[in-house]
Amino acid sequence: MRFPGESTWEVWRCNRAGKWEHSVVADVNDKVSVHAIQAVCIDSSPFWSATQGEEVPDPDDVSILRWEAAGVSDVDGSRQSTCWKVLEQPHRHLIGSMAITADLADDESLGLAAEQYEISARMLPLPQDGIAIWKEFGRFVTAFTREGRLLHVTLLAAPELNADTVLELRDALLALDAHEFLDLLSVIKVWTECEPGFVSALSSTFSSSEVQTEPRPAPVPPSDYLNLVPMQVALVRGEQQRRQRMVQIATALAAVFVVVFASWAFLLWRQEQKILAEEKALQNLGPQVFSVQEAKQAWVAMEAAVNPDLYPVELYHQIIALLPQAGVRLNEFQIDNDKITVRGEASDTQKGLDFREQLTNSPALSRFDWNIPVPKSLDGTRVQFDAVGTYKQTEEVTSEGQ
């Protein structure tokens, strides 16, 4: 923990035995578990809170309103004021209330990193009913207690502990007593060096109180923290939370991207595996497909021999059936493998064209692709026509039909 010493910050560490020891090698800028806010940065204003009636105000709400009127407000996640119960009496409670001084909210000491921020006076073993005096960064601090609870903290204006300081303490005590904040002052503890006349002046002024001089005790973290959060710390924590949210958002987006990319890659892999499986299946079917193709080619080669519609006599009969009773004469009929050649004469051009039309539209001869040039005149009265039909394979005929 970090505690304000008489001239510099003190860093205390807890040993294995649970005892706090002063560390002289630690860096005061390192983050600690507890940071004790020095008294110069604290304003104190105890008050009585009424507890009778139908609506009893919450001391926390009253304390916040009082400090807001003094210019201290909790914004941006900060907690700059706090309060605690000191004493319970019939119909009223005595409340200790302190806040970070508005004019010193930007003090660099309030920006030192820590997990908890606490008032320095609450970390010292204060007397049961009395006054404790110690020194922080060259300034004398005075804490007033009632029934063992911290009531009020103030800085002494005097630069030294002398007779003038005693008068200042008396005035502060009278101001507290005027509001019935104090009842019994049994002991005054001085935890710093002072002039010899100061102790005697204290004893004579506060005759009913015992004056003790001793070294300042080691600070100890309180059992319950006040959860103070200086403005500087709140701003830093807010920025850290914002960055953390940005990192979380970026991480979430990266995770979504990874999931989407992984899903896309998995789908591609599955598709590739499917394609490979289909290729392998096709490769396995290769011999069967090849045998089917061979059988098909053999059938196509044999079709002319086994299909009665392709017999030469049948083809000749189909062509002769297309000739009209008069006007057209067939001079030549020839079959050469898959080709038919027909030559003849017509009495006129029209009859030659009519025969060409019947030849190309004959259902029985639809398995042939006909090439018939325009008939040519022989002697002015007759025309000659030529027709060449090329046999179309079964696969081609099927495709044309579809």
Residue 374 has pLDDT above 60, yes or no: yes
Residue-wise pLDDT tens digits, 273-282: 999 998 888 8
Q: Dump pLDDT digits (tens) for 310-366.
A: 677 787 888 888 888 788 888 888 888 778 888 888 888 888 788 888 888 888 788
Amino acid at site 199: V
Q: Give the residue among 213, 156, 206, 161 at the shortest CA–CA distance from 186.
A: 206
Looking at per-residue pLDDT, the higher value among 207 and 291 belongs to 207
Quick one: which of 192, 146, 185 has its CA closest to 169?
A: 185
Of residues 291 and 173, more confidently modeled:
173
CA-CA distance, 209 to 187, in Å (whole number)?
5
Spatial CA neighbour of 375 closest among 336, 337, 346: 346
Range with the poorest average pLDDT among 49-53, 104-108, 308-312: 308-312
Q: For position 397, what pLDDT does the model report?
A: 45
Looking at residue 95, its pLDDT comes to 95
| pLDDT greater at residue 106 or residue 262 | 262
CA–CA distance, 226 with 23 (Å, rounded to integer) = 25
pLDDT at 167: 92
Determine which of 156-165, 209-218, 301-310 has the lowest per-residue pLDDT on average.
301-310
Find the mean pLDDT for residues 111-121: 93
Q: Is 217 exposed, middle or buried (0-12, 13-18, 19+ CB in 10 A)?
A: middle
Give the pairing of strands 114-119 and 383-391: unpaired
Contacts of 141 (CB under 8 A, 6+ apart): 39, 120, 121, 133, 134, 135, 153, 154, 155, 156
Q: Provide CATH code, domain 308-401.
A: 3.30.1360.100
Closest CA to 33 of 217, 220, 216, 234: 220
pLDDT band at 298 (very low <50, low <70, confident <90, very high): low
